[in-house]
Amino acid sequence: MNYTQYFQNCLMLKHSFLCVGIDPDPALIPDRFDRSPEGIYRFVTEVIQATKDLTPAYKFNLAFFEYWGWKGWQVLERLLEEMPDDVLLVGDAKRGDIGNSSKFYAKALLETLKFHAVTLSPYLGSESLQPFLQDETKGAFILCVTSNPSGRELQDHGGDFPLYRKTAEIVEKLNQKQNAGLVMGATKPEMLVEMRNRFPNLPFLIPGVGTQGGEAATAVDVCRKCGAGLINVSRGILFPSGGQFPENVRSAAQLYHEQFQF
């Protein structure tokens, strides 16, 4: 089964574009968990158990595991080995380097850790992206329009032909195996609509809904138009206000699952 088929199967099983972001900030996890690698493991495990029937995908932000050094890497490996087999696993690593370095980043994330897809930075051009797209069973989402305000300092550069549009053109050319997509922030809905119209066949990974205040309705609409996409919610599900853990996590995930249904 190639990447596109697996992606579509995961979406159809859950009938929602929801992606749960795994960003286990030790300062925010409930008090009953130790602020330690083992505490992070236990917290994430309970989050997965509470949400696994509601989401087609999980996005693991590697920064929250790398913080702990080799112990955090062990926790990440352990969690990935225990994940259900009906979800897309995205390694949010934002890698991007020259050819040989990029090749080994790809091996680390897609072979050693066995993520199905990764996030990539395009600043070094095609050479930095190609190693992640060679295997038709693996995929990548390339940063295009990010949800943070200062992203526009670079992404909008170029006037009538901005850098974010050039990025998407490069990704479209590299998408020979139908395993490339774009990271498109929900906090910039006018760009979401523009880029869906310009690049109708590229799936979007859409962060920014929830705590960052992105427009959910526009995000759902652009995913429906291409039939594929993920709308990521991290803190809004991991650390919802009110209620007892993990019931509050499940309640939050259910609300987003329903909001993002197709």
Choosing from 94, 114, 166, 177, the catalytic residue is 94
- Report the SS3 class of residue 181: strand
Scan for tokens 């199967």, then name that residue: 9
- Orientation of helix 189-198 relative to helix 216-226, angle to 10°: 10
Is position 94 annotated as part of the catalytic site? Answer: yes
C-alpha dist (Å) from residue 135 to 66, 107, 125, 153, 169: 26, 11, 19, 33, 21
Instruction: List b or e across 26-62, with b for residues whose CB sees 16 or more CB atoms inside 10 angstroms.
Output: beebeeebeeebebbbbbbebbbebbbebbbbbbbbb
Query: What are the φ/ψ torsions at residue 61 (nearest 5 degrees)?
Result: -85, 110
Neighbours of 242 (CB within 10 A): 7
Q: Give the residue numbers annotated as catalytic, written as ranges.
A: 94
